[in-house]
Every structure is written in C-alpha cells, then in structure tokens.
Amino acid sequence: RIRSVIRGVGSYLPARIVTNDELARTIDTSDEWIRQRVGIRQRHIAAEGEFTSDLAVAAARAALDNAGYAIADIDLIIVATTTPDYTFPAAATLVQMKLGMEHGFAFDLQAVCSGFVYAVATADSYIKNGLARRVLVIGAETFSRLLDWTDRSTCVLFGDGAGAAVMERIDLEEGEPERGVLASALRSDGRHWDKLYVDGGPSTTGTTGHVHMQGPEVFRHAVGKITDVVYATLEQSGYGVGDLDWFVPHQANKRIIDGAGAKLGLPPEKVVTTVDRHANTSAASVPLALSVAVADGRIKQGDLVMIEAMGGGFTWGASLIRW
C-alpha cells in the first residue's frame, strides 16, 4: 500500500509588515473596520525585486531542513501560485534552478487560494502512481502585485508569503495503520468565475490586471462549499469531525473560518488561525498555517489534520492527513 506522508514543512514571510493603521493613512479605512470584518491586524509585503520564486525558495529550504532532506532527494516540485514571476516559464522551474536541482521535473498549479490543497492532492496522486517519490509542494504568492491599492474593498484583505511541505512515498507493511494523506476531495464551478477574478491576462488585455471581488457573494458561497468538501473528505476516510485533532483552513477571513468551524461543530481551540498576522496569502496560507502549528508544537506525529481551501473559480477542496 503506497501512501504519501508529510515529512517536513517550512515557510517564509517578507520582512516588511504593513499594519492596518498604515493602510488607513492612504485609504478611507480603519484598523477597527478591518479587524471587525475580517480579523486582520497586519500583512507582510514583498520588497521590490523580491519575487514569488524567491519566497518559494526560502520556504522550500526551510521545509527541506525540517524534513532532513537535501534538494538532491526531491524529484518533483509543484508550485501553487497565482502570481508567477513571469507568464512563463513556470515559477516552479525557476525554483528548481535556484535550488540547484538539475534532475526531476517541476510545474505550477493554478487554483488560486485552493492551490496548495490541489497541489497536495496532485502530489499524492503522482506518488501513488509512481511518477514521483519525494515532492516539494509549495504555495507562494506576491499577491500584493495584483492589488489596486486605492480599492479599500480588496487591498486590505491580502498579503504575501510562502509555505512548503516535503511529501514522501512510504510503503505500508501488512497490518500497519494508515498514515499520510488519507483522502482528498477537489471541486470547482466556473460559473462563479467573475465573483473573484483579476481583470487582466496574456490572452485578454495583455496586462496583469487587478483583483475584483463581489465580497458578499464570495462570503455567501464560502462556508457551505467548505463544509461540503470537508464532509466529503471525512466520508471517504470513515472519520467524523470529532476525530479531528486540527483543522487548518485557508486563511481568507476570520468570519469565514469561524463560520465554517461553527457549522462543522469544531471547538475553536482545534482551529489553526494565522489570518490576523498574515492576512490572505492565497495559495500560501495553508502551508504557512501548517508551519506555524508544527513549529509551536500543536501538530504532532500521529495527529489527524484536515486542510481545506476555497478561492477564485470558484475552486475548493480538502485533504485529510494523518501526520
């Protein structure tokens, strides 16, 4: 029985922290409004000349260290991102080069905020099909570059950062208990594409564009879609909500996280939350939150961990992992 386990995690946040008060100096907003509506206190913003692949490389190095592996041990790199350095090549091949990896293969995965969850499920499939043995799964974003900094309804919500996990094939012995990725469920529904999108791209405007969002519509869909996919994942694996040790949601917004937690009947102390410090870092948010909870000793070997995300597309998904 081939399984994929998470051997190590790591993360990176750009040095510059921008507080709500700092934003309130240039746009008509307030620390109180932002904290109350979305639970964000601050966000990290990449420096000029600091690119998504740089953030990804820093997170990847931290994850390799945590796993006790060198880049030579990796045979696949998946970078989940909406903000690649260039239209092409993939940020993943730049990460491959910067890490000094001359073997294996690398590609980007675009599922916006659900990118890391999609990438975990993708790496799990590649491992189970024998295409890869050890995979660096990275979520990395310089989302600040997609924001219109005069649009208060979107620019206060997002931040930059990267997180990574090293996933590895194990072959379970007869009678050995299940571990690693136990089940995943992925969904998308393109009918909702214009509820959250960037109004640019190589095939339309030839420009990068800015984030546009129908906030209340996104909110309306988020909690139901998240809970559906969490239940679908639990059902596949035969576990219930009460069995979860940790719930590590996409860090979009405190109200969405609290709403999903309450609907699932999860005690708040089992929910890992970093949105207050990191804001919404899109594909980086789940691995950033995982890194925080592993580093502070909450997530330990043997724990049952549910990750989930929902984002533009809409895309959404969840994975249940025995750590």
Between 146 and 299, name the residue whose CB sits nearer to ligand ACO. Answer: 146
Q: Report, in Å, the least distance between residue 8 CB and ligand ACO.
A: 26
- The question of whether 280 is a catalytic residue gets the answer yes
**Closest-CB residue for ligand ACO?**
215
Q: Closer CB to ligand ACO, residue 67 or residue 157?
A: 157
Out of 166, 252, 257, 272, name the contact with ligand ACO by CB under 6 A: 252
Task: Considering the candidates 20, 44, 66, 113, report the single residue annotated as catalytic.
Answer: 113
Of the candidate residues 156, 244, 286, 288, the single one contacting ligand ACO (CB under 6 A): 156
The residue range among 43-51, 122-130, 134-142, 149-157 that interacts with ligand ACO, by the rule CB under 6 A, is 149-157
Sign, CA dihedral 153-229-282-146, equals negative
Residue 24 C-beta: closest distance to ligand ACO, Å: 8
Residue 38 is a binding residue for ligand ACO (CB under 6 A): yes
Q: Which helix (H) or strand (E) holds 17?
A: strand 16-19
From the list 258, 254, 291, 323, the residue with the least C-alpha distance to 61 is 291
Residue 280 contacts ligand ACO per CB under 6 A: yes
- Name which of 198, 170, 189, 161 is nearest 278 in CA terms: 161
Nearest to 278 by CA among 143, 147, 152, 108: 143
Annotated catalytic residue: which of 20, 66, 253, 280?
280
Find the shortest distance in angstroms from Cβ 151 to ligand ACO: 9
Strands in 153-232 per DSSP E: 161-171, 180-188, 196-198, 211-213
* Residue of the chain from 132, 135, 196, 292 that contacts ligand ACO (CB under 6 A): 196
* Residue 153 lies near ligand ACO (rule: CB under 6 A): yes
Question: How far is Cα 258 from Cα 252, in angstroms, rounded to an integer?
Answer: 11
Min separation Cβ 227 and ligand ACO, Å: 13
| Whether the Cβ atoms of residue 282 and residue 311 lie closer than 8 Å to each other | yes
Which residue among the candidates 66, 250, 253, 278 is catalytic per the annotation?
250
Task: Name which of residues 212 to 241 contact ligand ACO (CB under 6 A).
Answer: 213, 215-216, 218-219, 222
Site size toward ligand ACO (CB under 6 A) is 25
> What sign does the dihedral 197-198-201-203 (CA atoms) show?
positive
Is 155 catalytic? The answer is: no
Smallest gap from Cβ 168 to ligand ACO, in A, equals: 29
CA nearest 91: which of 55, 66, 122? 55
Considering the rule CB under 6 A, would residue 113 count as an interface residue with ligand ACO?
yes
113 is catalytic: yes
Per-residue CA distances from 74 to 57, 133, 182 (Å): 14, 8, 22
Nearer to ligand ACO, 150 or 207 (CB): 150
Residues 103, 71 contacting (CB under 8 angstroms): no
Burial classification of residue 180, based on how many CB atoms lie within 10 Å of its CB (0-12 exposed, 13-18 middle, 19 or more buried) = buried
Whole-number Å distance between alpha carbons of 127 and 121: 10
Q: Classify 165 as helix, strand or coil.
A: strand
Sheet of 161-171, strand order: 2-12, 161-171, 134-141, 76-80, 105-109
Q: Which of 101/109 has CB closer to ligand ACO?
A: 109
Q: Does residue 157 bind ligand ACO (CB under 6 A)? A: yes
Q: Which residues are catalytic?
A: 113, 250, 280
| Interacting residue ranges for ligand ACO, rule: CB under 6 A | 29, 33-34, 37-38, 113, 152-153, 156-157, 196, 213, 215-216, 218-219, 222, 250, 252-253, 255-256, 280, 310-311
